[in-house]
A and B are shown apart, each in its own frame.
Chain A
Amino acid sequence: MSTTTLENNARELIRNKATASYKKRERWSKVYTGFIALALAIAIVPLASIINDLLGRGLRFITWGFFTQNVAQPSLMHPQDVGGIANAISGSAIIVGLAVAISVPLAIFLAIAIFEFKNRFMKWVLLIVEIFVGLPSVVFGVFAFVALVLVSKQFHAYYGSLALCFIMVPVSTVNSVAALRSVPSTLNEAGLSLGARPSRVMFRVIFPVALPRIMTGIFLALSRTVGETAPVLFVVGNNLFVNWNLNKQAATLPGTIWNNLNQGSPYGQLECWGIALVLIAFVFFFNILGRLFLARAEKK
């Protein structure tokens, strides 16, 4: 049965109409794709500028002296003393170190508690923790100030650690709870059905399985905590010298940047780029370490 001219014409018409619509949609598609590419380009510009400034203006400060000398103290003897940030590095190290030492066990045990006690009360506890995750860190800073500094009328380095715990514990807890819950429940049930005590099941079975994900979360929380300025700034005072004593005041990397920006000399303001470079190096180090950890664990 050969096709009639009418059918041929109809088919021609439909094909042309479809092509026309397709052409029009393709044109719009190119416009939208252009928008997306433009968004990417706009996003890259400021970030490239920041990286450019960081490296361009900050690298010149990265010398051996930068890490080993204390903050500049120009004097008659040494009017050109440029100093370094050794005091800030030591301060940040001990403050963050103590914060981690307190936060990690606390977060893990709290997460275990939320995981094991499956009642309504603990649901509220988890909700409270999740709310704390979203609170601005300055709120914890002022709380630490009134609860610690105003009461004792002194500044101590470990006050900063306690303030940082408010930031590390909620995030680590929420992440650890998710990690524990991601372990297949069959493992838990198998362990219990073999007659093991719940604590043994937790520490021998569930916790090791969840550990990679927990560790990653802790590294990520750590990378965020290292850069936190506000809560620590209000409670640790300052220290011009290298200090490993938690009882004394301490300088921190972000705190030194803050002081330089607000009250410092022009040199101090330039120095901020170098300090920022060191700070970012630590932040990235922990972040990358955490993600490498996770990738390796998942591969197994």
Chain B
Amino acid sequence: MSSIRSTETASVEVASQGRKSLAGNDRIYRGVLVVVVALVLAVVAIFLFDLLKQAVPGFRLAGWGIFGTRWSFASGQYGALPLITGTLVTTMLALLFAVPIGIGTALALVYLVPQRLRLLASSIVELLAVVPSIVYGIWGVLTMEAWLSSKAFPNLQNWFHGAWPFNGQWAGQGIALGSIVLAIMILPIVTAVSRDVIASVPRELTEGALSLGATRSQVIRKVILPTCRSGIVGAVTLATGRALGETIALATLLGGVTYHSPWPDRLFATGSTLAAEIAIDVGQLSGPSGNVLFALAIILMFIVGGVTYAGRVIVRNAQRKFQ
């Protein structure tokens, strides 16, 4: 009797110990974990400190002109607005293409593709999502650029009679090429995540709608898409984050901010993004103007952080509406 008693109290004691923070008699475990966390936080602190330490002289070098409109790294003009605009423009164009096609492809994967091909198609989409960006850079420069400058651009310019945004001198590289390749890069991400979300809609909802006499498109438009809204917003946020930070592919494809094309104001212009410019000018990192690149990095981090945060807020609000 008393032995059962003592076992009970002992187990209750130990259980309550586990529920609190780790017990004192597990000191090595606790110690190791604390050291790991401290190490990681130290690295994070050094990261932020170094980044700011390098960026502040850059901001000071450029002054408020960092938000100026003239960017010419070699000749010391550090107005970053063309780069910021370039970043936003390429990302928005890429999203404009990738989001509708991506969601449409996801819907097709779930509802059009025959059952036997479904696993294969989904695997292909997921594999495409992890293709390294430099491969897109290769394809863009060696294949897409040739096609665009010889076939697509002249035809587009003729077709629209030189109206904006198809006006002006075109070269192979530029905003159009960069945006298209960027769109193709984020397309698998949008498709893969959207496909997961769409496939996880409970069957009762679709079957209920169908039994009420809705057509397939009505089911998709009025039932599935509203249900998946927060998931799709999450997918788009992921894709946007990747597009904003894309460095290597865009560095080879955009052609840089030049005298003839100081501003991404038309599709055929060349330009640059914050990330790509850092990669292009990396040789100057140790030079006197290298700090400006860190300023660019900080601006980029703010943009990416802001967009990601906005995406999370939207998702959270959508989920709250559900409850």
Q: Which residues of A contact B (CB under 8 A)?
A: 22, 25-26, 28-29, 31-33, 35-40, 42-43, 46-47, 49-50, 53-54, 106, 109-110, 112-113, 116-119, 122, 125, 128-129, 131-132, 134-139, 141-143, 145-147, 149-150, 166, 169, 188-189, 192-195, 197-199, 201-202, 220, 223-224, 226-230, 233-234, 254, 257-258, 261-262, 269, 272-273, 276, 279-280, 283-284, 287-288, 291
Which of B141, B278, B282, B294 makes the CB contact (< 8 A) with A261?
Answer: B141
Known: A106-B40, A257-B134. A146 touches B11 (CB 8 A): no
A36 vs B28: C-alpha distance when bound (angstroms): 58
Whether a CB of chain A sits under 8 angstroms from the CB of B247 is: yes
Q: How far is the CB of A282 from chain B (nearest CB, A)?
A: 10
Q: B127 near A287 (CB under 8 angstroms)?
A: yes
Q: Which residues from chain A contact B216 at a C-beta distance below 8 Å?
A: 29, 32-33
**A195 (CB) vs chain B CBs: closest residue:** B14
Which of A40, A117, A262 makes the CB contact (< 8 A) with B112?
Answer: A40
A255 vs B314: C-alpha distance when bound (angstroms): 38
Q: B134 near A119 (CB under 8 angstroms)?
A: no
Which of A32, A125, A135 makes the CB contact (< 8 A) with B37?
Answer: A125
Q: A229 near B142 (CB under 8 angstroms)?
A: no
Q: A33 near B104 (CB under 8 angstroms)?
A: no
A-B contact pairs, 22 of them (CB 8 A): A32-B221, A36-B107, A37-B112, A40-B104, A40-B105, A43-B102, A43-B187, A49-B143, A53-B143, A106-B39, A131-B305, A134-B305, A136-B275, A142-B293, A145-B286, A146-B285, A166-B47, A230-B279, A234-B282, A258-B248, A261-B137, A276-B138
Q: A138 near B297 (CB under 8 angstroms)?
A: yes
Q: B215 near A229 (CB under 8 angstroms)?
A: no
A198 vs B32: C-alpha distance when bound (angstroms): 13
Q: Which residues from chain B contact A198 at a C-beta distance below 8 Å?
A: 18, 22-23, 26, 29
A181 vs B11: C-alpha distance when bound (angstroms): 23
Q: How far is the CB of A70 from chain B (nearest CB, A)?
A: 21
Q: How far is the CB of B69 from chain A (nearest CB, A)?
A: 23
A119 vs B216: C-alpha distance when bound (angstroms): 48
The secondary-structure label for the interface of chain A is: helix
A-B pair count, CB < 8 Å, reads 243
Q: Which residues from chain B contact A258 at a C-beta distance below 8 Å?
A: 134, 248
**B103 (CB) vs chain A CBs: closest residue:** A39
Q: A229 near B244 (CB under 8 angstroms)?
A: no
A157 vs B221: C-alpha distance when bound (angstroms): 53
Q: A32 near B26 (CB under 8 angstroms)?
A: no
Q: How far is the CB of B66 from chain A (nearest CB, A)?
A: 17
Q: B131 near A280 (CB under 8 angstroms)?
A: yes
Q: How far is the CB of A237 from chain B (nearest CB, A)?
A: 13
Known: A39-B101, A110-B37, A138-B278. A227 touches B143 (CB 8 A): no
Q: How far is the CB of B318 from chain A (nearest CB, A)?
A: 19
Q: Which residues from chain A contact B134 at a C-beta distance below 8 Å?
A: 227, 229, 254, 257-258, 276, 279
A146 vs B28: C-alpha distance when bound (angstroms): 35
Q: How far is the CB of A48 from chain B (nearest CB, A)?
A: 11
Contacts A35-B104, A192-B19 aside, 6 further interface pairs with beta carbons under 8 A come to A22-B215, A40-B104, A49-B139, A116-B22, A197-B26, A229-B132
Known: A40-B105, A134-B308, A279-B135. A143 touches B112 (CB 8 A): no
**B221 (CB) vs chain A CBs: closest residue:** A32
Q: How far is the CB of B242 from chain A (nearest CB, A)?
A: 9
A202 vs B18: C-alpha distance when bound (angstroms): 11
Known: A28-B217, A43-B187, A198-B29. A125 touches B41 (CB 8 A): yes
Q: B135 near A276 (CB under 8 angstroms)?
A: yes
Q: A139 near B297 (CB under 8 angstroms)?
A: yes
Q: A43 near B135 (CB under 8 angstroms)?
A: no
Q: A230 near B37 (CB under 8 angstroms)?
A: no
Whether a CB of chain A sits under 8 angstroms from the CB of B42 is: no
